[in-house]
Amino acid sequence: MSKKMTIAILGLGSRGLQVYAPLIKENGDQMELVAVADLDPAKINVAQEEYGIPEEACFSSAEKLLKENRLADAIFICTQDCYAEKWTAGSTASIRNRGRRSLYELGCG
C-alpha cells in the first residue's frame, strides 16, 4: 500500500473547511489533513475538533504555516482570490512531494 499524501489547508472559509477538508476526510485511505492556517481562531478550533489536527499544526496566519519546513506533501490555498498570488510566489518551503517541491492552488484566480 502506498503512503498517504499529507495535506495542509491555508484558509478555512467555505472552500477550505466546508469543501476540501471533508473531501480529504472522505478519502482518508489516500490522504490526511495534517495542518491548517486561518486568521479566525474559531475556525481553527473547528478544524482541530473535526479533523484531529494537533495544536502545533494549527497556525494563525499563512506566513506562520509557510515558514514550517516539510509540513505536508501539498498545501491547498483556499484564501480569498486576491491573496492567492502572494502565497504562491516562492512559498514552497513547507511542501514535500517525493523529492519535488509543489504548490497547489484550489479555487484561486
Q: CB of 81 within 8 A of CB of 57?
A: no
**Which CATH superfamily hosts domain 5-105?**
NAD(P)-binding Rossmann-like Domain (3.40.50.720)
For the chain, percent of residues with pLDDT exceeding 90: 50
Question: Which three cell numbers, joined as nine digits, stand for 74?
Answer: 501539498
pTM score, two decimals? Answer: 0.76
Domain coordinates in residue numbering, the chain = 5-105
Given a cut of 50, whether residue 87 has pLDDT beyond it is: no
Helices (H), the chain: 14-15, 21-26, 41-51, 62-67, 84-88
Quote the CA–CA distance of 44 and 49 in Å, as a whole number. 9
pLDDT in the model for residue 2: 72
Tell me what the pLDDT averaged over the chain comes to: 79
Given a cut of 70, whether residue 23 has pLDDT beyond it is: yes
Higher pLDDT: 49 or 78? It is: 49
